[in-house]
Amino acid sequence: MPATRTALIALSSNQYLQNALPRFPASRRVARRFVAGEGLEDAIVAVRALNARGLCGSLDHLGENVTSEAEAAAARDEYLRALATIKAAALDCHVSLKLTQMGLDLDEELCYENMCRILHEAAELGNFVRIDMEGSAYVERTIALYRRLCLAYQNVGIVIQAYLRRSQADVDRLVADGVGRLRLCKGAYDEPPAIAYRARERVTRSLQELACTALAPGARERGAYPGIASHDEAVINFVRAYAYQWGIPPSAYEFQMLYGIRRELQASLARKGYKVRIYVPYGTHWYPYLMRRLAERPANLAFFLRALFGD
Ligand code: FDA
């Protein structure tokens, strides 16, 4: 993993920058490339435009690692508001959230209860909730809580990160247990080699392998439905070819991408008849999200620095 990427991911949890950077108009401008806006209304406008182009959405109210029960309740209530607004606007759009936003660091029971409120409301409204995957310190607890929620709710899915060495075993077990509603991605955090693949090609191969596992006939019979979350054509074309070769219909899976990234690819897959879901973040807590996006592509950092300090 290049040093710049490691440094940017480390900076994503820097409190000083988290408070200072959002005050600069230039950094807000750069954030707008990846974030739909600061309010739910902005996100709804963005999703409506995506729907009009044949793309579905998943709204993410930005925020992570809340430090009080009140903050977790506010995050929960924002998701309840988002679900009601999606329904009222008749949008094709799920929601994505982080368990640390729902209070996982404070009290697991509180987090579970907040999730139940959201999942109950989402079920009433015919919607679906995706649990994002955070850094490795949270993986075990996130999977455990997801499994617990699956005992009562069908409308919940989880994210698995292909860079983690454990992920093949996790996917095997989730699929075998009939809870394979999986978003599969490479992974956005900086994890040590003891637990994560660091070479780019190895991570790509791991993502391809996880997709094959979730697309196997036995997996699909057990309800597995993978969202292939990648902008990498080596992954996307592999999945398309694999599905074609084995007669797996496009309705058995979907592609997922991030708001503002590879828009032509998003549109071209939708035109070819694939379901493409765009992750649409909004809110004022965009700093860590922006840092992870900058870390993924050095050219983004150059763009960001130019915007901050001028050409
Ligand atoms: P890769 O990084 O190799 O990028 C392939 C190509 O896509 C690049 O060459 C470039 O053209 C373009 N690209 C990728 N990232 C870009 C960027 N930031 N700016 C501009 N161009 C870019 N991670 C996680 O740990 N937990 C999670 O819950 C999620 N959730 C999630 C949801 C969705 C819908 C997506 C698409 C991704 C995530 N991720 C995530 C992030 C994921 O783990 C990964 O970091 C990014 O998707 C980048 O990996 P790619 O597979 O796109 O490949």
**What average pLDDT score do residues 153-167 get?**
98
Q: Are residues 15 and 121 in the same domain?
A: no
Contact 230 CB / ligand 1 (< 6 Å):
yes
So what's the pLDDT on residue 147? 98
Q: Are 228 and 236 in contact (CB under 8 A)?
A: yes
Catalytic, 232? Answer: no
Number of domains in the chain: 2
So what's the pLDDT on residue 16? 84
Mean of the per-residue pLDDT values for the chain?
95
Helices 3-11 and 298-309 cross at an angle (nearest 10°) of 60
**% of the chain exceeding 90 in pLDDT:** 80
Residue 218 has pLDDT above 80, yes or no: yes
Q: Are residues 84 and 16 in the same domain?
A: no
Q: Are residues 299 and 311 in the same domain?
A: yes
Closest CA to 57 of 106, 101, 95: 95
**What average pLDDT score do residues 188-193 get?**
96
Q: Are residues 5 and 154 in the same domain?
A: no
**% of the chain exceeding 70 in pLDDT:** 99
So what's the pLDDT on residue 64? 86
Q: Best of 232, 254, 290 to mutate for ligand 1, by most ligand atoms within 8 A of CB?
A: 232
Q: Domain holding 206: CATH number?
A: 3.20.20.220
Q: Are residues 251 and 161 in the same domain?
A: yes
For the chain, the three-class secondary structure string (H helix, E strand, C coil) is CCHHHHHHHHHCCCHHHHHHHHHCHHHHHHHHHHCCCCCHHHHHHHHHHHHHCCCEEEEEECCCCCCCHHHHHHHHHHHHHHHHHHHHCCCCEEEEECHHHCCCCCCHHHHHHHHHHHHHHHHHCCCCEEECCCCHHHHHHHHHHHHHHHCCCCCEEEEEECCECCHHHHHHHHHHCCCCEEEEECCCCCCCCCCECCCHHHHHHHHHHHHHHHHCHHHHHCCCEEEEECCCHHHHHHHHHHHHHCCCCHHHCEEEEECCCCHHHHHHHHHCCCCEEEEEEECCCCHHHHHHHHHHCHHHHHHHHHHHHCC
Tokens 């960001």 found at: 304
Ligand 1: atom nearest CA of 230 is 51
So what's the pLDDT on residue 1? 63
Contact 297 CB / ligand 1 (< 6 Å):
yes
CA atoms within 13 A on the CB side of 188: 20
Q: Are 224 and 175 in contact (CB under 8 A)?
A: yes
Residue 160 has pLDDT above 60, yes or no: yes
Residue 274's pLDDT band, with cuts at 50, 70 and 90, is very high
**What average pLDDT score do residues 233-237 get?**
98
Residue 149 has pLDDT above 80, yes or no: yes
Q: Are residues 17 and 114 in the same domain?
A: no
Strand partners, 81: none
Q: Are residues 125 and 55 in the same domain?
A: yes
Ligand 1: atom nearest CA of 258 is 36
Closest CA to 40 of 280, 288, 305, 303: 280
Q: Are residues 273 and 308 in the same domain?
A: no
So what's the pLDDT on residue 310? 66
Q: Are residues 175 and 274 in the same domain?
A: yes
**What average pLDDT score do residues 272-297 get?**
93
Q: Are residues 271 and 307 in the same domain?
A: no
Contact 29 CB / ligand 1 (< 6 Å):
no
107 CA from centroid of ligand 1 (Å): 30
Residue 208 has pLDDT above 90, yes or no: yes
Contact 262 CB / ligand 1 (< 6 Å):
yes
Ligand 1: atom nearest CA of 300 is 19
Which residue segment(s) compose the domain that 296 sits in? 1-34+286-311
**What average pLDDT score do residues 148-166 get?**
98
Q: Which of 132, 170, 181, 293 is an active site residue?
A: 132
> Higher confidence at residue 260 or residue 13?
260
Residue 26's pLDDT band, with cuts at 50, 70 and 90, is confident
Strand partners, 185: 161
Contact 232 CB / ligand 1 (< 6 Å):
yes
Q: Best of 64, 184, 258 to mutate for ligand 1, by most ligand atoms within 8 A of CB?
A: 258
Residue 39's pLDDT band, with cuts at 50, 70 and 90, is very high
So what's the pLDDT on residue 311? 53
Q: Are residues 122 and 202 in the same domain?
A: yes
Q: Are residues 277 and 293 in the same domain?
A: no
Q: Are 254 and 270 in contact (CB under 8 A)?
A: no
Contact 159 CB / ligand 1 (< 6 Å):
yes
Residue 135's pLDDT band, with cuts at 50, 70 and 90, is very high
Catalytic, 132? Answer: yes
